[in-house]
Structure 1
Amino acid sequence: MLKRNLGPLLFGLIGCAILISLSIWQFQRMQWKEGLIAAAYEGLAAAPVPLPENPTEAKDEYTPVLLDGEILAGEVHVLTSRPGQGPGFTIIAPFQTADGRRILLDRGFVREAEKDATRPLGPIAGPAVLLWPDESDSYTPAPDLARNFWFARDVTPMAEELATLPILAVITEAQLDGAPRPLPVTVNFRNRHLEYTVTWAGLAVAWAFMTGVWITARERGTEKNLRV
């Protein structure tokens, strides 16, 4: 029996081994992603620090900082919506720090009717969080620059549009009367690795089952031929 079914058996074992290895890999990815999420929440809970000299996404995302500087003229309007508030826009403006750097400042949310309203500018000093949002992919439409409609907080293009460094600070407390409404910063990592882990494991079980069905069918066919 073993010799007759060596080919199907090897085919089944190799397939199961590949699927199980993919399941293990996704499980390891899940553990890695959960570590990143835990580190992000730990960072958000830390005390604010002065804005780092050269912040980077890998090192400084979700770091609370204390901003000191001035909100400048010019805005990018990112289409969004908020539960209980309806459609609106996230307002991104250039911000000049006290040491002369120009960065992006997420001022918060305004309703759709407030898109083109005049907003207060000037000096502020208060808390913010460094963020590099992962909101765009190959399906995200390009911004409509003529109407100032953006569909994601994409740091690099926004920085080019507003002539700033590619650094985004999300303000957490409104500092000026009539300013947009700051919204809480939440950790937004995509983590579907448990789903993928279970999927690959399920496919391995199905592969093993179908291999067994195949071998059983071959054996029954062999017995029938022998009887004939």
Structure 2
Amino acid sequence: MRRFIGPLVIGIAGAAVLIALGVWQVQRLQWKEALLADIEARIAAEPVALPAAPDPRADRYLPVRAEGVIGAEELHVLVSTKTEGAGFRIVTPFETEGGRRLLLDRGFVPDEAKGAERRTGPVAVTGNLHWPDDRSSATPENDPGDNFWFARDLDQMAAALNTEPVLLVVRQEDPPAPGIMPLPVDTSGIPNDHLEYAVTWFGLAAVWVAMSGYLLWRTARRTT
């Protein structure tokens, strides 16, 4: 019997650890789903007036409606969509009726339309405030000189367009802007891989139990 104790203890301990990790990922999945549901509710809430001093934490995803004037200057941010492929986000200055200048993410244009003329001037905008986190360790540096941007770095964009470092992402322009497809804020960019992690840990636990059982079977055969 002593020959069985070691494999049995290792088998039980390993399975317990792997199952615990799987259960933890299920709990994380429930937490993330609740968080995403809360964010989606905030995104879809009734629009309000632009806050006097938007806060990156408290006002992230805040729905806003504002009237003002879209400037003619543009920043072109490289982006790819599932339906349209590669193209550019169009970011412009937006001067509100109260005289504030913000960054306005108007949406997507295909690569061949980057240099096309677009409607500017007076507009009513409905959208969401956002402080995007587009940059990763693999993201190239922006090239403001050639107006080629890889990430929406708000401080750098605000300096280029002489605006506040506040971004309003368009859901709707009134009147509409022909040729621009809005890319409104949503939760698609927030990772939620906890289900895959849970399946992985539970799968490893099953393999561990099977291997432990096989080891015990081999041990039993050697003792007979």
Indicate the TM-score class for this superposition, using the shorter chain for normalisation: 0.7 to 0.9
Q: Are 1:219 and 2:217 counterparts?
A: no
- Report percent identity of matched pairs: 45
Following superposition of structure 1 onto structure 2, how do residues 169-184 of structure 1 map, counting pairs within 5 Å?
Answer: 169-175=168-174, 181-184=180-183
Partner of 1:226: none
Q: Are 1:103 and 2:102 counterparts?
A: yes
Give aligned pairs, total: 222
Residues 32 and 102 of structure 1, relative CA distance in 2, 3 Å threshold: farther
Q: Distance in 2 between matches of 1:133 and 1:122?
A: 26
Residues 183 and 209 of structure 1, relative CA distance in 2, 3 Å threshold: same
SS at match of 2:172: coil
Partner of 2:69: 70
Mean CA deviation greater in 114-123 or 202-211: 114-123
Q: Distance in 2 between matches of 1:109 and 1:161?
A: 20
Residues 178 and 126 of structure 1, relative CA distance in 2, 3 Å threshold: closer
Partner of 2:187: 187
Q: Distance in 2 between matches of 1:29 and 1:165?
A: 36
Residues 212 and 184 of structure 1, relative CA distance in 2, 3 Å threshold: same
Check conservation: 1:91, 1:180, Cα contact below 8 A. no
SS at match of 2:208: helix
Superimposed CA distance per residue, residues 3-58 of structure 1 (whole angstroms, 9 cap, x where no aligned partner): 33322222222222221222122111111111122112222332111122333444
Check conservation: 2:103, 2:166, Cα contact below 8 A. yes
Residues 118 and 32 of structure 1, relative CA distance in 2, 3 Å threshold: same
Partner of 2:24: 25
Q: Distance in 1 between matches of 2:83 and 2:72?
A: 29
Residues 161 and 79 of structure 1, relative CA distance in 2, 3 Å threshold: same
SS at match of 2:91: strand
How far residue 62 of structure 1 moved from its aligned partner, in angstroms, is 2.7
Mean CA deviation greater in 117-126 or 43-52: 117-126
Partner of 1:94: 93
Residues 83 and 102 of structure 1, relative CA distance in 2, 3 Å threshold: same
Which amino acid in the other structure matches residue 149 of structure 1? Answer: F
Q: Are 1:80 and 2:75 counterparts?
A: no
Q: Distance in 2 between matches of 1:99 and 1:220?
A: 85
Which amino acid in the other structure matches residue 65 of structure 2? Answer: L
Mean CA deviation greater in 185-194 or 134-143: 134-143
How far residue 94 of structure 1 moved from its aligned partner, in angstroms, is 2.5
Following superposition of structure 1 onto structure 2, how do residues 4-83 of structure 1 map, counting pairs within 5 Å?
Answer: 4-82=3-81
How far residue 66 of structure 1 moved from its aligned partner, in angstroms, is 0.9
Q: Distance in 2 between matches of 1:29 and 1:57?
A: 25
Residues 204 and 181 of structure 1, relative CA distance in 2, 3 Å threshold: same
Residues 78 and 208 of structure 1, relative CA distance in 2, 3 Å threshold: same
Residues 92 and 184 of structure 1, relative CA distance in 2, 3 Å threshold: closer
Which amino acid in the other structure matches residue 213 of structure 1? Answer: Y
Superposition TM-score, scaled by structure 1 size: 0.81
Check conservation: 2:78, 2:88, Cα contact below 8 A. yes
Check conservation: 1:174, 1:181, Cα contact below 8 A. no
Q: Are 1:198 and 2:199 counterparts?
A: yes
Which amino acid in the other structure matches residue 105 of structure 2? Answer: D
Q: Are 1:131 and 2:130 counterparts?
A: yes
